[in-house]
Amino acid sequence: MAQQNFKNHTRYVFSFHVLVNIALLALIIGAVRNLLNTSEDNVYEASLLVLVALILVGNHLHGRMFALKAQDRAIRAEESLRHFILTGKPVDPRLTLGQIIALRFASDAELPQLAREAAEKGLGPKEIKQRVQHWRADTHRV
């Protein structure tokens, strides 16, 4: 893998981000089309198929959201500890979770100053990542 930086730090998994979403969309469209074109004696089964499709979509979306939330909490704890180790002070309470997550890419040398600037100037996550000079790769986030 090439060295991680602002331009290539996002993770894109073709099978998850494209294939699974296309398959779920096709399932919903097919299930709804089946329900609309079914005979009266198959309405119950066709309705169940639409329900199953909606449950699968809900599980897919919620599973991703829950995993990201757990990772965000872990990042917040890790970065709070790293900031405390580097500065002897807790993370500024003005920093949002998004800012803290963006700060994880900053090297140890630039983290304290960048965290201070982010809190004082209200920098957004994208701005924070763009200001990082010495990128600290995060290859474990999914």
Taking only the tens place, the pLDDT of each residue in 18-70 is 999 999 999 999 999 999 999 999 999 999 999 999 999 999 999 999 999 99
> Is there a domain that residue 141 lies in?
no
Q: Using CA atoms, how far apart are residues 99 and 112, in angstroms rounded to an integer?
A: 13
> Is there a domain that residue 136 lies in?
no
> Is there a domain that residue 108 lies in?
yes
Domain hosting residue 96, numbered range: 14-131
pLDDT of 9 over the 80 cut: no
pTM of the complete model? 0.74
> Is there a domain that residue 88 lies in?
yes
> Is there a domain that residue 142 lies in?
no
> Is there a domain that residue 46 lies in?
yes
Q: How many domains does the chain have?
A: 1
> Is there a domain that residue 32 lies in?
yes
> Is there a domain that residue 1 lies in?
no
122: left (phi over 0), alpha (psi -120 to 50) or beta: left
Write phi, then psi, for 132 (nearest 5 degrees). Answer: -65, 125
